[in-house]
Structure 1
Amino acid sequence: MRIVALAIALAMLPTAAHAWGGTAHSVIDRAAIEAIPDDGPIFLRKHVDYIAASASLPDSWRGDSENFSKIEEDPNHGWFREQFTFLKPIPRSRYEFVIALYKHYEAIKDSDPATAARTNVRWTGTLPYAAIEAYDRLVVCMRYVRKARAEGGDVSVPEQHCAFQAIRLGHYIGDGAQPMHDSIHSDGWRGDNPRGVTTDRSVHGRFESQFVDGMKLTVADIAPRIGAPSHRSGDMFEAVLAFLDEAGDKVGTVYTLEKRNGFADFADKDVRAMVYERTAAGAAMLRDMLCRAWAESASPPAKISPSPLDFTNPRFNPETGSAPD
């Protein structure tokens, strides 16, 4: 009953069309958890109803009336990569990224005020940082699950902590799977438009909410498309960036599909295929990150010496007061 009450409460909250609709987020989270192999964090299966019902929770932290929360949370849902092509490699610190944006803003504000107006944290986004931060917290929570098991203690609380972090991670990965979250063309095409695609801001919601709801997307639709588990070996931050690039490369296709019939035909096979492919990609990435976090949690925290806060650390950045990962 508590899960039902939570779902009803979330449904009553004010919403805005700035993320995959509730249907897609819920389907992505549920599909990812159902696809966890038996050597993964299968304890999340018992929390799948709570996670799926809460899949859109991070969007509720973006209301205009809660502006402290909004200012912090809004950028976490986008990655408008055309805005920071000048920045290579991408910093491995949220604050180094923000500082780099501001320095570029200062450098171009007089010569190119239009570009400068969007060279800031809100109009570039911080999605990969939000995702990797949730991932790190998930690893920590999972260590406590393992500790409680080893000591014969109560695992319910650390498992619930993991479920909450899975909600956060799932939302950001779900957003990142949607091409419009990874491009300046998030709400209508911006700038040069030789193909004459729509500049209507409603295109975002018409694709990810209206069409997804109209086609009645389900877990069964994407489960066969998720593929075999992969623990995503290598650097996880780089894997997230690559995942966002893959999605962002498809934004032009989304606009081409919209030009045909404005997403009005819920039986359109090509648009349905795009939704299936992108939600399945999000579910696969989320499943793999959950499994990778579980595997990492089997090891104790790495000993970092000198500390990231130590001025003698060779990577210490005095502008942020710490060394990046």
Structure 2
Amino acid sequence: MIKRLALLLTALSASPAFGWGHQAHSAIDRAAIAALPADGPIFLRAYSDYIAASSTIPDGWRNASEPFSKIEEDPNHGWFRERFAFLKPLPRSRYAFLLALYRENQRLLHSDPASAAWINVRWTGTLPFAIMEQYGHLVADMRQLRTARANGEAQNAKFLEQICAFDVIRLGHYVGDGSQPLHDTMNSDGWRGLNPHGYTADGSIHARFETAYVKLIDLTEGDVRQHMAPRSHEEGDLFDAVLSYLNAAGDHMETVYQLDKRGSFSRQSDPDARALVYATTAAGASMLRDMIARAWSESQAIDANLANPLDPQTPGYDPTTGSAPAKVDPN
């Protein structure tokens, strides 16, 4: 038993840090749900405690003790954008993205094996794909909820509300992770590569910022709501909006290292560190609110003219993935 425990602790210590700690994830989710518009899925407010209490459930799927789960889930929490700067435009398909990484890995394997070692799904992440896939689940389940209500199926509708609440837990976790700047960079767990400013290479910076400091300032739902942006993302291509959102969060990455270097995360009163936490968590709550509200709107009907991405006759169909990429939403 002692040996097994030691092995487990070793495995956990070798794993990359998780997303925002529970306090921040919970505050982001609560703020987003409280800020839903009156014509949105306000039934979710009845599940606010459940969603907030379960906000870090997806992190529990990343333990080495469940290897199949960890292999599938781990990349969904990161987006190390420096690693795939070669890839333009970004594929609108998880599988096309993975194949592009594989081809680049193979291209570099002999000429630059050190770089090739980082060009794989684990060290690039798949966060925007996880966000969009879970968003699709939420739209589909909300559509079923609407149907159950229309058919007078009260008990089934109640169950579907609970399913939608769980969808929000997962979507909220991925969106929340994306608002944490260290989830959008290869420097997620300590500075890598050239380091002229002498930033820490210690992986503990991740937890020092997102968990210890959040607890130190006692971040609340009210703090997050106070800094949320007005509603947006009601139209236009949502995948592009998600990418822009992740890029904006990642642009704060060096600020995290600068604040850490001057010891800001050990001082409750540091105004710049507080401002960064407020701004990033509020951005996450704003994005989550907008995506939940848009999902509810999109669940009203299905466009019968949409092409099936699995149909070989669909334009852009790729036989290596067995699908066509998601189309750009013009609305």
Shorter chain as denominator, the TM-score bin is: over 0.9
Structure 1 gap ranges (5+): 1-13
CA distance in 2, matches of 1:309, 1:127: 23
Q: Give the match for residue 173 of structure 1.
A: 175
Q: Give the match for residue 310 of structure 1.
A: 311
Correspondence list, 1:54-69, <5 A: 54-69=54-69
Q: Secondary structure at the match of 2:121?
A: coil
CA RMSD, 1 decimal: 1.4
CA distance in 1, matches of 2:254, 2:225: 26
Q: Secondary structure at the match of 1:263?
A: helix
Q: Contact 2:264/2:273 (CA < 8 Å) preserved in 1?
A: no
CA distance in 2, matches of 1:55, 1:303: 36
Q: Contact 2:233/2:241 (CA < 8 Å) preserved in 1?
A: no
TM-score (norm 1): 0.93
Paired amino acid for 1:135: Y
Post-superposition Cα deviations, 1:173-200, rounded to whole Å, max 9, x if no partner, equal 0000000000001011111111111111
How many angstroms does 1:145 deviate by?
1.5
How many angstroms does 1:262 deviate by?
5.5
CA distance in 2, matches of 1:303, 1:62: 39
Q: Contact 2:21/2:211 (CA < 8 Å) preserved in 1?
A: yes
CA distance in 1, matches of 2:233, 2:253: 27
Q: Secondary structure at the match of 2:262?
A: helix
Larger CA deviation: 146-155 vs 283-292: 146-155
CA distance in 1, matches of 2:270, 2:214: 11
Q: Secondary structure at the match of 2:199?
A: coil
CA distance in 1, matches of 2:312, 2:295: 30
Larger CA deviation: 218-227 vs 124-133: 218-227
Paired amino acid for 1:288: D
Q: Give the match for residue 196 of structure 2.
A: 194
Structure 2 gap ranges (5+): 1-11, 327-331
Q: Contact 1:231/1:291 (CA < 8 Å) preserved in 2?
A: no
How many angstroms does 1:224 deviate by?
1.6
Q: Give the match for residue 248 of structure 1.
A: 250
The alpha-carbon distance between structure 1 residues 152 and 231, as it changes in their structure 2 partners (threshold 3 A), is farther
How many angstroms does 1:220 deviate by?
1.0
Post-superposition Cα deviations, 1:136-172, rounded to whole Å, max 9, x if no partner, equal 0000011112112211212111111111110110000
Q: Give the match for residue 124 of structure 1.
A: 124
CA distance in 1, matches of 2:292, 2:173: 13
Correspondence list, 1:55-204, <5 A: 55-154=55-154, 155-204=157-206
User: Which of 247, 259, 262 is the matching residue for 1:260?
Assistant: 262
How many angstroms does 1:269 deviate by?
1.1
Q: Contact 1:25/1:174 (CA < 8 Å) preserved in 2?
A: yes
Larger CA deviation: 130-139 vs 296-305: 296-305
Q: Give the match for residue 285 of structure 1.
A: 287
How many angstroms does 1:264 deviate by?
1.1
How many angstroms does 1:228 deviate by?
2.3
Post-superposition Cα deviations, 1:17-51, rounded to whole Å, max 9, x if no partner, equal 42100100000001100000101110110111110
CA distance in 2, matches of 1:265, 1:217: 14
CA distance in 2, matches of 1:58, 1:200: 25
CA distance in 2, matches of 1:50, 1:302: 35
CA distance in 1, matches of 2:304, 2:262: 53
Q: Give the match for residue 224 of structure 2.
A: 222
The alpha-carbon distance between structure 1 residues 302 and 30, as it changes in their structure 2 partners (threshold 3 A), is farther
Q: Contact 2:33/2:45 (CA < 8 Å) preserved in 1?
A: yes
CA distance in 2, matches of 1:208, 1:251: 12
Post-superposition Cα deviations, 1:65-119, rounded to whole Å, max 9, x if no partner, equal 1000000000000000000000011101000000000000000011111111010
User: Which of 294, 312, 318 is the matching residue for 2:296?
Assistant: 294
CA distance in 1, matches of 2:176, 2:243: 14
Q: Secondary structure at the match of 1:86?
A: coil
CA distance in 2, matches of 1:179, 1:223: 19
Percent of aligned pairs sharing the same letter: 57
